[in-house]
Every structure is written in C-alpha cells, then in structure tokens.
A and B are shown apart, each in its own frame.
Chain A
C-alpha cells in the first residue's frame, strides 16, 4: 500500500514550483513567440541571488527578516538578468528569422550557467541553501515541511497577483493586446518594447521566487539546476496551453502529479517494476509531452492559435 495522500501532496508541491517557472515561458512566448531557453537559468540565478543575500546577512538575523530579503534578492537578480538579456541579446534580433533568437537563447543559457559555475564562489559543486525552521507538521497521515508551506503560499499568491495584473491593470491590457497583434497594439499607442521588457521581468520575478522555493525545499542549489527543471517547466507550459497563464499553473500541477505518481505506481503494472525509480521520472515527463503534442497540441487550456505570419 502506497501513501496516496502524501504522494498527491508532494506531486502538487513539485508541480507548483514548475508552474511558477512555466509562467515565465508562457508570458514571453505569448508576446514574442520565443522559447526563452535561458529561462531555466533565470530561475537558477534567482536561487543564487537569494543565497547571496543570506550569506551577506549573516546567521544572526531573524528569519522574518532574512526570508523576505532573500525573496527580494532572488527577484531582483532574476529580473535584472532577464531584462539585460532581453535588451542585449534578443531585442536586436526582433525581426530576424525565428532560428536566430532561438540559437541566441541557447547561447544565453550556456553563458549564464558558465558564469555562475566559473565565478560564483564554490559553485562548481552544489551549495547548501538555508532551510526554514519549524515543522514537520502532521495533517492526518500527511507530513508537511515548512518549505512546503512556503511553496504553497508563494504559488497561490503569485497566481492571484498575476491574474489581477493581467486582467485589471492598464499594463496588463497592453500585454494582452501586444500578444494578440503587436502592430495594432503599437497603433493604440502601446510601447511594445516596454511591454516585452515587462513580460520578461514578470516571468523572471516568478522564476526568482521559484528559485527560493526550490532551495528551501531541497536544501541545495547548483549551477545546472535550471536546465532539466526548465525543460519540465516548459513541458508544463505546453501541457497547459502555451500563452495561457492559468494553463501554465495547471500544467505544472498536472506534470508534478504525474511525475510523482508514475515514479511509484508504474511498478504496479506487470513487467514495469524496473521502470519506477526516480531516475526514470524524467523519461515519463517527456513521454507525456510527446503524448500531449500528439493528442492536444494546443494544450489543456489553450485555444487553437494560428501561426502568425
């Protein structure tokens, strides 16, 4: 007998982290139709930004001050890096053929990873990340860590904020308009360059928060943690319907659940007992991506969007 409730909770928490990162892919893709490969690295730099703040504050500081400052540090780091890459690497290629910015994105991704690996103190091996005090808490048979609560609160608040922002603010409307038709958005007086920067910054801020959540949950961070996680998060964004913000969150949750549950239940399928270990879970995530693309390429919440010429 497996502990189903516990696994559900674990899956949802992992999924919430994916969702936070996936939002960044989806916003940027929705507006400039670019898969920002470097977004996983934005997430990673956020975690390192938070770690730097923690190390700078020293161990004597109260958690109630440290944690918010770490979050701030993560958001600032991620956002600044994302805005810089947009300005320096992507913007000059705005009208280039599609392949050019994609290749640039790969270059940015490798560059960011290597910068952290080569120049962040002792980042060649994993760096220990602080953990939250308190816990674990028992709710029935479910065990919950303090960091889990952080992930949960962060995901819910972020989603609510984003929903409000996109729907009810002037900038949010400008983002929607730019996503639908950039040229006409310009004719409305929208500075689309600014909107694109905001989209990158917003996605990066969420990735930064996800970076903190990741560090708190797993206790260590590494220069290449953004690569596979970014790949999963992108899968989540496609799963939810790329371009759709709620879809990104939903996709993240579904992917997290599937990854967690397959790792355990696949062993119950006769003949598959060997394929259940954690090391196979990325394979199943990937199989799901392919299946989704075959069956419902527009994703769970996506509308059919025609390719823009």
Chain B
C-alpha cells in the first residue's frame, strides 16, 4: 500500500532565504505523525506548503497518489487535507456556528453537515452552549477547540494541527491532547506539529525532529522519547 502523504525532498524559500531545505517523510493511513523542533525550524512552513498556502521551490508532495504541490489551497482541501493553522486563526467576528459552517464550505450535504456540527458540539460541549456567540469572545483553549472542530468539518482524510497547545494552560492542553487521542482511536490520520515534544511524541506513531530546515532525526514516537539527544534538546533533561 502506498502512503497517504508522501513528501519528497521538499524545499521552500522566502525570497532568497530557504526555510525548508529538502525534507522527506511519509504518513500511512491511520498514523499519527509528529514534527517537533524549535522555533524557526521550518515546521509551520512545511505545513503551509503542504496545504498549498506556499509554493515549494522544488520537491514533490503526493497525497492519495496525486501530486498536490502546485495545486491551489482550496483544491487541496477538496481532496481531504485539512489544516488547523498556528495561532488558531478563527474568524473572530463570526459566530461559532458560522465558523463551523465555513469548515464545511466545500460540502453540499446539508443533513451531513448538521450531523457533523452536532458531533463537534458533542466533542466540545462548550461550543454547543455558545453557538450563537461571536467566536472572538471565546478563551484561548475554547478557540483551539473551535479551530479543531472547524478543521474536522471538512471530513478530512488527513488532519494537520499546527501547535494546538500553544499558549494554553496545562489543563486545557490535557483536554486538547486527549481529544487528539480520541480522534486517533477513531481512525483519523494526523500530522501534528508541536513544541511540546513530550506530549506529541507520547501519542505519535512516528516522529521527526526538524532543525533549521532539515529533518535531523526520525523514529517511532517511543524511540524518540527515549533518545538521548532528543531528551537533552527538547525535553529539558540533562
């Protein structure tokens, strides 16, 4: 079986500055894969390139057996790749329900959409309670829930989450991480970008460590979690 997502020698540059310098990795269906690394390692750039917001300078991205580098972002969403961006980026001046509806923008099955909205409210009850409220009034953690719920509304084959735990309280972070676990058990394929290496690696099947635009180390989540250099560099142990 071929992988769901196949990234080969991907390079991305802003002007003359290369942010991603030739990375390759793949994701099998049903896997949770995580990219960890410090600020500026190129993780977010990678995700933005996969979802079509940036154009690579070279290399290829294959999703469901089809080349998607060079496709427009909305075409990629149509193929089943959802991206919950860094910093949540919810539509603050729209209601929670409108945000969720936008997540289902490309779907035409009204009944299915309604069912999925109810499902999102089951997953995050707080969203259901405030469905008519402007999304900007939510707390940071609640906004993250909304962002994840919104990304799920497109019924993706692959869900990409960019730093879902950023700026959240420990309790909120727990909640988000347990939701990811729940999604994984439901069979969702996930590409998770995190700075919180401990949390990310403990629920990932595969992990890749990014350093200044390159993948410096790859392995299973458990392997990396026990790797000496990873522990030193990212888990704050000596």
Give A residues with C-beta under 8 Å from B: 170, 173-174, 176-177, 180-181, 183-193, 303
**Is B74 within 8 A of A180, CB to CB?**
no
Nearest residue (CB) in A for B103 is A188
Q: Which of B93, B98, B103, B105 has the most CB of A within 10 A?
A: B105
A191 vs B105: C-alpha distance when bound (angstroms): 10
**Is A177 within 8 A of B85, CB to CB?**
no
**Is A181 within 8 A of B91, CB to CB?**
yes
**Is A186 within 8 A of B74, CB to CB?**
yes
Residues of A within 8 A of B90 (CB): 184
Q: Of B19-27, B75-83, B210-218, which stretch is located at the interface?
A: B75-83
Other-chain residue from A173, A174, A177, A187 in contact with B73 (beta carbon distance below 8 A): A187
Is B53 interfacial (CB-CB < 8 Å)? yes
A180 vs B94: C-alpha distance when bound (angstroms): 9
Residues of B within 8 A of A183 (CB): 53, 85, 89
A8 vs B14: C-alpha distance when bound (angstroms): 56
Residues of A within 8 A of B82 (CB): 187
Residues of A within 8 A of B51 (CB): 186-187
B20-61: contact bitstring with A at CB < 8 Å (1 yes, 0 no)? 000000000000000000000000000000011100000000
CB distance from A175 to the nearest CB of B (A): 11
**Is A190 within 8 A of B74, CB to CB?**
yes
Other-chain residue from A170, A184, A189, A190 in contact with B85 (beta carbon distance below 8 A): A184
CB distance from A273 to the nearest CB of B (A): 48
8 A-B pairs whose Cβ atoms sit less than 8 Å apart in the complex: A173-B105, A183-B85, A186-B52, A186-B73, A187-B51, A187-B85, A188-B77, A191-B74
Q: Which of B83, B102, B103 has the most CB of A within 10 A?
A: B102
Tell whether A174 pairs with B105 under 8 Å between CB atoms, given A184-B85, A187-B77, A189-B78: yes
Is B235 interfacial (CB-CB < 8 Å)? no
**Is B52 within 8 A of A188, CB to CB?**
no
Question: CB within 8 Å of A: which of B165-184?
Answer: none
Residues of A within 8 A of B72 (CB): 186, 191, 193
Residues of A within 8 A of B150 (CB): 188
Is B13 interfacial (CB-CB < 8 Å)? no
**Is B101 within 8 A of A180, CB to CB?**
no
A189 vs B93: C-alpha distance when bound (angstroms): 19
Tell whether A189 pairs with B74 under 8 Å between CB atoms, given A180-B92, A181-B89, A184-B91: yes
Is B154 interfacial (CB-CB < 8 Å)? yes
Tell whether A187 pairs with B53 under 8 Å between CB atoms, given A173-B98, A173-B101, A173-B102: yes
